Amino acid sequence: GNSVTQMEGPVTLSEEAFLTINCTYTATGYPSLFWYVQYPGEGLQLLLKATKADDKGSNKGFEATYRKETTSFHLEKGSVQVSDSAVYFCALSNYGGATNKLIFGTGTLLAVQP
Amino acid sequence: DTGVSQDPRHKITKRGQNVTFRCDPISEHNRLYWYRQTLGQGPEFLTYFQNEAQLEKSRLLSDRFSAERPKGSFSTLEIQRTEQGDSAMYLCASSLTGQRSYNEQFFGPGTRLTVL
């Protein structure tokens, strides 16, 4: 079946540090991949997406590249800010089915210290 | 604000009681999803509507759970005879079919249910 595995947190970084949050997936067919972010007290927001192999999604300084050969979609940012502190969820949607439901990883808490 | 809204934001109930949650999607969105999120976990899919038709239900959705979307707009999720294991955040999301939107699901703030 389809599943997503992401690194456990919390990840604690100092401001301006480099961020990597690992995400790997298992899926049949050709899924689309997403990173969602949940800021404290707010709902899930789409951060970036990639719909086919070798696509790079980017937004707000964050990037992730769809790697089919390693079934990965790692999230990176070159210089984190305190305002990036949130829970980050990797997710996939397999368009082979009609539902297009999202399958999420367990989430990674990022805490950025000034 | 034209985002997805959910009501109530918090619900505390006693075991055995029935509860109902409401979700108002973004107005032109034809797809509506319910997810459940427990502490320390990612959201898990519960059910999905396209317009008023409920097209898929997860095995997580026991017979105590029922969802409706009577006119293809707002949706309700009812849990009968609540159990402590039902305590979770219930999330609603909506999306619009079509190439341009590419299934971006927009999430509401969630309803946090606590069953005592």
B-chain residues near A102 (CB < 8 A): 33, 35, 43, 45, 93, 105
pLDDT at A38: 94
- Is the CB of A1 inside 8 Å of chain B's CB atoms? no
List phi, psi (to 5°) of A90.
-90, 140
Residues across chain B: 116
- Cα-trace Rg, chain A: 14
Select the residue from B4, B44, B103, B106 to test the A interface by mutation, using most A Cβ atoms within 10 A: B103
Confidence of residue A98 (pLDDT cuts 50, 70, 90): low
Pair of tokens at residue B91? 């999330």
A-chain residues near B107 (CB < 8 A): 36, 43-45
A-chain residues near B2 (CB < 8 A): none
A-chain residues near B10 (CB < 8 A): none
Contact B69, B54 (CB under 8 A): yes
Pair of tokens at residue A8? 């456990």
pLDDT, tens only, B10-49: 999 999 999 999 999 999 899 999 999 998 899 999 999 9
- Is the CB of A86 inside 8 Å of chain B's CB atoms? no
Task: Using DSSP, state whether B86 is helix, strand or coil.
Answer: helix
Confidence of residue A42 (pLDDT cuts 50, 70, 90): confident
Least CA distance to B96: which residue of chain A? A100
